[in-house]
Amino acid sequence: MDDILIIFTWLNRITGSILDVHATAILARIRQAQQTGSMVQVLALIERLINLTNQVERAEAQVECAVILYQMRDFDRAFELLNQARIGFSDDDHKQAVVSWLIGIVLLAIPSRQEEVIANWVTAIRLFRRIVNTRFHQALRPDPLWHRAQLERMEAAVQELIENEVI
């Protein structure tokens, strides 16, 4: 489907970022280390960031860091962070769905895990559908039609993956 950065922008579309100034500063340092290609520094800063944040803030930081690791082609660590983030968003259908979609994108890059892509994407679709079908779901308030529009794109991506899947 879409680029990981496009889907990542969906994460804070409803509630906005909750990262504080300190976490944001460490993220900036992680991005600088990414630019220099220093995986050792990136991993050390990620660990510092994870230790600095509380549960929900940590989940958002884990997603941010997973995208960076994905861009650095460390798909296994990116998957681990996203999987942990999903737990941190246990009370947020929207963010859980976005993380499930991101997990699918990461798993596409790991040949031995490609069969899990569809399962994660279907989970994301089910969560988006639950948002759309729950009349007063809080995620609908900012833009009541947005989730419905994304469902069409998501369904098309799953169908394309199924049709082109090599077995």
pLDDT of residue 153: 92
What's phi and psi for 147, nearest 5 deg?
-60, -40
CA atoms 64, 67, 69, 72: torsion sign: negative
* CATH code of residue 149: 1.25.40.10
The number of folded domains in the chain is 1
pLDDT of residue 167: 65
What is the pTM (predicted TM-score) of this model?
0.93
* Cβ contact 1:154 at 8 Å: yes
Question: Measured between alpha carbons, how far apart are the two ends of the chain, in Å?
Answer: 20
What mean pLDDT is predicted for residues 36-55?
A: 95
Identify which of 64-73, 88-97, 128-137 has the greatest average pLDDT: 64-73
| Helix (H/G/I), strand (E/B), else coil: 142 | coil
pLDDT of residue 114: 80
pLDDT of residue 134: 85
CA atoms within 13 A on the CB side of 51: 6
Tell me the per-residue pLDDT of 122-159, one tens digit each, with 9 for 90 and over.
999 999 999 888 877 777 777 778 989 999 999 999 99
What mean pLDDT is predicted for residues 81-107?
A: 95
Q: How confident is the model at residue 94 (pLDDT cuts 50, 70, 90)?
A: very high
Give me the domain span that covers residue 128. Answer: 4-164
**In terms of residues, how long is the chain?**
167
